[in-house]
Chain A
Amino acid sequence: MAQRTVGRRTGQGFGRVLVTVYGILAFAALGRSSYELVVKFTEAPVAYTLSTLAAVVYVVATFALAIGSPTWRLVAWITVGIEAVGVVTVGALSLADAQAFGESTVWSGFGQGYGYVPLVLPFVGLWWLWRTSRSTPEERTA
């Protein structure tokens, strides 16, 4: 019976909603950074490079959470972890000095421009990764 609950996938159940929100944010970040790179990269190279980095991390995290195999689960831990560190660090720096990056990024003001979703999401993601790994005892003993 216990084996039946084993191998809980990160992209199922509540995880399906998580991946949806990640996907939308990935789209938003990707669209934003593409636009910035094409139209006005020279205005604030640091901010726009950061936006591009954030976008790539969101895209990878979305796929990693959706697939959820052991390897991709590790990728998800790393990318979601980067987001958590990124949004807190960039958020704090942007508050301390509004001109820290020359222009605003996805993570500026703790993701204020996106309804603070970028701030909340990585922590929900980490919680979900932890929670789904807890229900796979075979993986822990493997």
Chain B
Amino acid sequence: MILALVLLVVALCVALAGWAAWFVARDRAVVLNQLWGGAVIEVVVLVQGVVAIVQGATGAGAGDPLLFWGYFATTLVILPVAAAWAFAERTRWSSVVLLVASLTVAFLEWRMWQIWTVA
């Protein structure tokens, strides 16, 4: 993993969470543009996956690959599922769902970095 990418994902997640929090305060439901924001995060996470595979192939992988890839899979799945779940609700609660999901991904990113560096 590359620290810069980890920080980028965390920053994007915090930004998306802030956007969602603003919508909660304004009593608004999730809009499509926010889902595009989530898609950008997904792309960066996928890039991290490619980087991690390359690093693993050159012998600089995670100390505990099973644990690391378990976290990776979870991180990747949460936003799409939460987005679909949130989008079906047309009230402010959908924005709360997005807020929770974004913060969770930020937390999982940090845990992934911990697992990676503990090696």
A contact set with B: CB distance below 8 Å: 12-14, 16-17, 19-21, 23-24, 27-28, 31, 34-35, 38-39
Q: Is the CB of B77 within 8 A of A20?
A: no
B contact set with A: CB distance below 8 Å: 66-67, 70-71, 74, 77-78, 81-82, 85-86, 88-89, 91, 93-94, 96-97, 100-101, 104
Q: Is the CB of A17 within 8 A of B97?
A: yes
Distance A23 CA – B86 CA, assembled complex (angstroms): 13
Contact of A12 among B78, B89, B101, B104 (CB under 8 A): B89
Which residues of the other chain, B, contact A14 by a CB distance below 8 angstroms? Answer: 93
A-B contact number at CB 8 A: 46
Report the 5 A-B pairs with minimum CB-CB distance, sorted nearest first: A20-B97, A17-B96, A16-B89, A16-B93, A31-B70
Classify the secondary structure of B's interface with A: helix
Distance A114 CA – B81 CA, assembled complex (angstroms): 21
Which residues of the other chain, B, contact A12 by a CB distance below 8 angstroms? Answer: 89, 93
Q: A20-B85, A39-B66 are in contact. Are A13 and B78 (CB under 8 A)?
A: no
Which residues of the other chain, A, contact B77 by a CB distance below 8 angstroms? Answer: 27
Can you report 12 A-B residue pairs in the complex whose CB atoms are below 8 A from each other?
A: A12-B89, A12-B93, A13-B93, A16-B88, A17-B93, A17-B100, A21-B100, A23-B85, A24-B78, A27-B74, A27-B77, A39-B66
Q: Is the CB of B70 within 8 A of A16?
A: no
Q: A12-B89, A14-B93, A27-B74 are in contact. Are A20 and B66 (CB under 8 A)?
A: no
Question: Within the complex, what minimum Cβ distance (angstroms) separates B104 from chain A?
Answer: 5
Distance A24 CA – B101 CA, assembled complex (angstroms): 8
Q: Closest B residue to A30 by CB, please name it.
A: B74
Which residues of the other chain, B, contact A34 by a CB distance below 8 angstroms? Answer: 70
Q: Is the CB of A35 within 8 A of B81?
A: no
Q: Closest A residue to B101 by CB, please name it.
A: A20
Q: Is the CB of B104 within 8 A of A24?
A: yes
Distance A21 CA – B86 CA, assembled complex (angstroms): 12
Which residues of the other chain, A, contact B93 by a CB distance below 8 angstroms? Answer: 12-14, 16-17
Which residues of the other chain, A, contact B91 by a CB distance below 8 angstroms? Answer: 13
